[in-house]
Amino acid sequence: MVVHKGDVVLAFGHGGTADAIADDSVLRIYSMSKPITAVAALQLVERGQLALDDPVARRIPVFAEVTVNRGRSGDVLDPVPAATPITVRHLLTHTAGFTYGGSAGAVSQLYEKHGCDFHPGDGPLVEVVERLARIPLLFEPGSAWNYGVSSDVLGHVIEVAAGRPLDEVIRDGILEPLGMSDTTFRAADVPPDRLAPLFEADDGRAPTAMDTSAELAIPPDRLTLSGGGGMLSSSRDYVRFAEMLRRGGEMDGIRILRPETVAEMTRNQLDGDLTELDEGSLDGEDMSGIGWGHGVCVVTDTEAAGDDFAPGDFGWGGYASTFFNVSPVHEVTVVFMTQLIPSGLYPLSAQLRRLVAEARSPTP
């Protein structure tokens, strides 16, 4: 879907062996959950229930005595007490020192061993977070950037601050006010005929459908409400969320965030770009000219990032090759939904950005 100045100018769906995907088809958005969780946290900040510089340990005491691995992302574990407390701001900006399992290094291996990637059936947030707190950080909080489970920890901070489960906080503060009725943490809640199949492919191999029956069988009391990657949504839902941000926190007369909060959320919070500061979590992907705000990446230098971007463009993507981009300068919002793992197998986002840029400024 492409929206220009609030009007849908393109809504296109296509399926391969099945009927064309519809704007109400529900897909796993994985890391596109992160901006939604960030908005939920910023709503609490606006209400005074949370502060950006609050130590996480104030809400989750088990983080009062975290350690840092002096070997950083290497194969050696050499933990020492952290000198800097993790704050809410660190969680929003991925500067807390967390990572994901499946990466190189001894710390990442501990994530896999102890089930700290916040997969759908890893259990309640409180349990996963307590396991995570015993694993060393990659670096002193605030000293570098590394993509990881920060948004998941933030989800539990939100629960404690609000005194309610994360899904209820997000439902009442974001989903219901915006009319996002398709967005949920529970695949079992989605009508089977609207839940999109998930595909997997490797280079040179045709995509094959994955068995997703396990996600439908997770008991409610064992479901992990992953604010970093656990949500499902439709294109029509997510475009409303993205348009709300483009419009400075308001949609159809309903205010979700203050304009100044959105401006801060979509401003680079780092001293440099992701390529300069990343500890290796992006696998060498070139993110020159792109920084990080609160839950979204932000274009800071169009010469470095590429001329398909405009200054201040923001957005993010998900593991199954979904992504969104908002261009406040051009008043354009783009949401792309598919279900193909891994992301980055095809240059979908770059190609779509090019097409939108060409349509915005056609060659004479």
Per-residue pLDDT, 21: 77
Mean pLDDT of 271-298: 92
Asked if residues 257 and 264 have their Cβ atoms less than 8 Å apart, the reply is: no
Q: What is the DSSP string of 22-83?
A: -TT-BEE-GGGHHHHHHHHHHHHHHTTS--TT-BGGGT-GGGGG-EEETTTTSS---EEE-S
- Architecture of the 2-32+182-360 domain: 3-Layer(aba) Sandwich (3.40)
Res. 73: pLDDT tops 80 = no
Please tell me the distance from the alpha carbon of residue 283 to that of residue 280, in angstroms, as a whole number. Answer: 6
* pLDDT above 50 for 364: no
| Residue whose C-alpha is closest to residue 230's, from 92, 93, 29 | 29
Q: In the chain, pLDDT over 70 holds for what percent of residues? A: 98
Average pLDDT over residues 96-114: 94
What pLDDT is attached to residue 181? 97
Q: Domain limits of the chain?
A: 2-32+182-360, 56-162
Q: What is the pLDDT of residue 280?
A: 86
Residue 20 has pLDDT above 80, yes or no: no
pLDDT per residue as tens digits for the range 287-342: 999 999 999 999 999 999 998 999 999 999 999 999 999 999 999 999 999 999 99
- What is the pLDDT at residue 363? 52
Residue range 168-190: mean pLDDT, rounded = 97
Q: Provide the pLDDT for residue 263.
A: 98
Instruction: Tell me the whole-structure pTM to 2 decimals.
Output: 0.96
Per-residue pLDDT tens for 131-149? 999 999 999 999 999 999 9
| 9-18, 213-222, 239-248: the lowest-pLDDT one | 9-18
Position 19 pLDDT exceeds 90: no
